[in-house]
Amino acid sequence: MLLECCGVLFLVSVLTYAIPHLLTFLGREQDLYKKYAAGCTDRPWAVVTGASSGIGLEFATKAASQGFNICAIAYPDAHMETVKSMATTKKVHFRCLPIDLAGVPQAELEDKVKKMTEDIDVALLFMCAGITLFQDCAVGAENSLRLLYTNVLANMHIFFVLYPRIVSRPLLGGRSRRGGVVMIGSMSSFFPVPFTTMYGASKAFLTSFGSALGPEAALSGVDVMVINPGPVKTRLFSNTYPLSSLRLSGHMAQTTVQITRLVWKTLGRACMYSRDAGMCSWGLRLLIKCVDPYALGLLWAYTTRFLGDYKNFILGKKPFVLRHCAPGA
């Protein structure tokens, strides 16, 4: 009897996870411009943090192709020209705030975002900016705190500047939704990965925050979702970076186009405020329904020491830091 009850509970757990994912996966991509801009006299804007490459660039491209003007907030490097060129090609207006989110004081960041967006109608916010860190926590705090500030605090400062404005957008043209917010989580947000401790913790914050905000925002007519991808083919998996684990997981990585399609299929549908993306993320989620994540963490503890990356970077006290626009795992 006990085993039967456990079997039923496990089946319910799997089905309630799989069915919404399957329904949105099989669904059609939405026209977010029609959903959030119907009845607007002026073309609304999509604000994208980390817009210069990776998922952020793909989100900006997709939003522009549907008619949104693009406001890009990203690290000041040559990749920003890629976004500008894309916006020109799509024939939409473009604004950019080239800024290092890891180093700007919070008051300055909020002031710059307010000034850049004060005269525009913001309908979409994509929070994609982030950095990855591979190091032993004993090495020191500097890189870890830069990651925490970029992945969490800076994105939150931008969120709290823009979210109240999205909530206050008028409902015009018969539409029922005011706008949308998309956050980039990670499968490492629900699975312990040693030596990327701060990265996983930062993504766990966004996943928890977005999952709780979703039903709250829905009452105000705003759609919120967090997408938790596995490995994604961004600059994180370039051959120029020396981590063998990245090169290995890169073979299973999704493309930024696949991630974007899932977001456009899911946002505001099936009450999915947090969804996983990719075979790695789905498989891992199902695995931890069978095996407690703390047991898997124990397995990590006994096997990590045999990995080449551990010997080269951890024992050698060489932190590996990568700034990228949209994280993979």
Chain segment 142-187, per-residue pLDDT in tens: 888 888 888 999 999 999 999 999 999 988 777 778 899 999 988 8
Q: Within a domain: residue 12?
A: no
Give the C-alpha distances (Å, rounded to integers) separating 66 from 30, 35, 43, 262, 264: 10, 11, 11, 16, 11
Domain that holds residue 320: 42-324
**pLDDT band at 113; cut points 50, 70, 90:** very high
| Bridging pattern class, strands 222-229 and 179-184 | parallel
Q: Within a domain: residue 29?
A: no
Q: Within a domain: residue 4?
A: no
Q: What is the CATH number of the domain that holds 253?
A: 3.40.50.720
Q: What pLDDT shows up at residue 212? A: 93
Measure the CA–CA gap between 247 and 229, rounded to whole angstroms: 17
Q: What pLDDT shows up at residue 132? A: 80
What are the pLDDT digits (tens) for 179-217?
999 999 888 888 777 777 888 899 999 999 999 999 999
Q: Within a domain: residue 131?
A: yes
Task: Find out whether 320 and 233 touch, Cβ atoms under 8 Å.
Answer: no
Measure the CA–CA gap between 158 and 109, rounded to whole angstroms: 8
Q: Count of domains in the chain?
A: 1
What does the mean pLDDT of the chain come to? Answer: 82
**pLDDT band at 329; cut points 50, 70, 90:** very low
Q: Within a domain: residue 33?
A: no
Q: What pLDDT shows up at residue 326? A: 41
> Of the given ranges (40-44, 124-128, 194-198, 266-270), which has the lowest mean pLDDT?
194-198
pLDDT above 70 (res 253): yes
Structure-token pair, residue 162:
């823009």
Measure the CA–CA gap between 20 and 59, rounded to whole angstroms: 22
Q: Within a domain: residue 217?
A: yes
Q: Within a domain: residue 20?
A: no
Q: Taking residues 119-141, report their average pLDDT.
A: 84
Q: What pLDDT shows up at residue 118? A: 92
Structure-token pair, residue 294:
């703390």
